Amino acid sequence: MSIIKDIDSVEMINMLIAENLKELRRKRKLTLENVSELTGVSKSMLGQIERGESSPTISTLWKIANGLKVSFTSLMERVEQETVIINKADMTPVVSDQGRFRLFPIFPAHQDRSFEIIDLDLDPYAVSESQPHVEGTEEFTLVYEGALELVLGEGANERRYLIPKGSAIHYKSDVRHVYRNASMGTTRVVMVINYR
């Protein structure tokens, strides 16, 4: 993949996020200040995102999605055809942990679908923390390569799970959760997030 294609893809994702955030605000008649209060993201950062001047982090996107009570991937979705084939190799992932954690929004949730399908690639030592999702949200996670350590909750309520290749786990994701690669190679995971 060329650098130019990567830059174009990142710009395209940023423009989708900008358009979708503006449209959400318009439909709900919200000001940037209203959205800032709901999400905990500064008004200036929201403005930069809407103008396509800033590439938001995964953490910022989760804050916006949770605050507006929409799915994470709905911020990046395009208008979908009735029948569509998705090729992961053609997608530009959302990255964190210095590029070691890559999230591919395969099928985003939208108004007619209350779930989304996400593919994750975690390089060795990759870690990604996710803030609690909207109450009642649940995740179904299948590890198809490597091994995943999942940490749910925090403090006295923290629980740890090791999910090896070929295994799956179902959990409520309305608590803090951390994904950690528990193998020496790349860990690959597919997850369904159900927003009730």
The tens digit of pLDDT for each residue in 7-64 reads 456 777 888 888 888 888 888 889 999 999 999 999 999 999 988 888 888 889 889 9
Tokens 């949730």 belong to: 109
Give the side-chain half-sphere CA count within 13 A for 186. Answer: 9
Is the whole model's pTM more than 0.75, yes or no? no
Averaged pLDDT, 134-155: 95
Residue ranges per domain, the chain? 3-75, 88-194
The pLDDT tens digits of the residues spanning 175-196 come to 999 999 999 999 999 999 998 7
Q: What confidence score (pLDDT) does residue 188 get?
A: 98
CA 30, 33, 37, 39 torsion: positive or negative? positive
DSSP 156: G
State the maximum Cα–Cα separation within the chain, in Å, rounded to a whole number: 49
Architecture (CATH level 2) of domain 88-194 = Sandwich (2.60)
**Assigned token pair, 70:** 């929409």
3-state SS of 81-101?
CCCCCCCHHHCCCEEECCCCE
Architecture of domain 3-75: Orthogonal Bundle (1.10)
What's the pLDDT tens digit per position in 99-137? 899 999 888 877 677 899 999 999 999 999 988 988 999
pLDDT digits 0-9 by tens, 161-173: 999 999 999 999 9
Return the higher-pLDDT residue of 34 and 82: 34
Q: Which of 86-90, 93-97, 153-157, 184-188 has the highest mean pLDDT?
A: 184-188
82 confidence band (pLDDT: 50, 70, 90): low
Residue that wins the pLDDT comparison between 162 and 70: 162
pLDDT of residue 165: 98
Select from 80, 62, 79 the least CA-distant residue to 71: 62
User: Residue 123 CA to chain centroid, in angstroms?
Assistant: 17
Cα distance between residue 123 and residue 184, in whole Å: 8
The backbone torsions φ and ψ at residue 173, rounded to the nearest 5 degrees and listed phi first, read: -110, 25
The pLDDT score that the predictor gives to residue 178 is: 95
